[in-house]
Structure 1
Amino acid sequence: MKVIRNIPHESFDITLFWWNQKYILKFEKHHLEQTYKISELDFLEQEVEALITNEGFMKNVLKRFEEMYQDLYKSLDES
């Protein structure tokens, strides 16, 4: 797997990889991560990187992290 670049962001770590004819866009916040696999046949690298400037997409990524934390801690409290 090749790291294309690390992308700075105030809320989480973002890394763009290339592997197996796919761009892999990985978001990490503390001990959780979200990964998006995008075929290089469907999108250019610049289009994948443009997702970072898409305000709606980034808000959804942050919201999903919040939901993941809630789900995790709720499940841990129940067990």
Structure 2
Amino acid sequence: MRVVADIPHPEIKITLLAWNGKYLIKLELGPFEQTYKVSEMEVTGGDEEVKKWLDEPFLQSSIELFLAMRKNLYATRIRHEY
């Protein structure tokens, strides 16, 4: 696995990786992680094209997913505490 880029963002850690014929967009916030895999064959503009996908609407939706993940984990922990 090769790190293509670390992309700065004030709220989340963003890493673009290349591995096994795929680009991996890895987003991290606290203990949570989201990974998006895209075949290199689907990307005509290489890693620069993938970087353009990381626009504000995509990142805002990803942050909302992180919040939903946290809520989901919290809810299951509450359900199973005795």
Same fold by TM-score greater than 0.5: yes
Identical aligned residues as a percent: 37
> Is the radius of gyration larger for structure 1 or structure 2?
2
Distance (whole Å) between structure 2 residues aligned to residue 48 and residue 38 of structure 1: 9
Q: Helix, strand or coil for the counterpart of 1:45?
A: helix
Q: Count matched residues.
A: 78
Indicate whether 1:63 and 2:74 are aligned. no
Q: Helix, strand or coil for the counterpart of 1:41?
A: helix
Q: How far apart are residue 68 of structure 1 and its match?
A: 0.3
Superposition RMSD in Å:
0.8
Distance (whole Å) between structure 1 residues aligned to residue 35 and residue 6 of structure 2: 14
Q: How does 1:10-25 map to 2 (within 5 A)?
A: 10-25=10-25
| Structure 2 residues without counterparts, runs of 5 or longer | none
Give the structure 2 partner of residue 36 of structure 1.
Answer: 36
Moved over 2 A (4+): none
Paired amino acid for 1:48: V
Distance (whole Å) between structure 1 residues aligned to residue 21 and residue 7 of structure 2: 20
Q: TM-score, normalised by structure 2?
A: 0.91
Distance (whole Å) between structure 2 residues aligned to residue 6 and residue 55 of structure 1: 17
| Structure 1 residues without counterparts, runs of 5 or longer | none
Q: How far apart are residue 41 of structure 1 and its match?
A: 0.3
Distance (whole Å) between structure 2 residues aligned to residue 63 and residue 51 of structure 1: 17
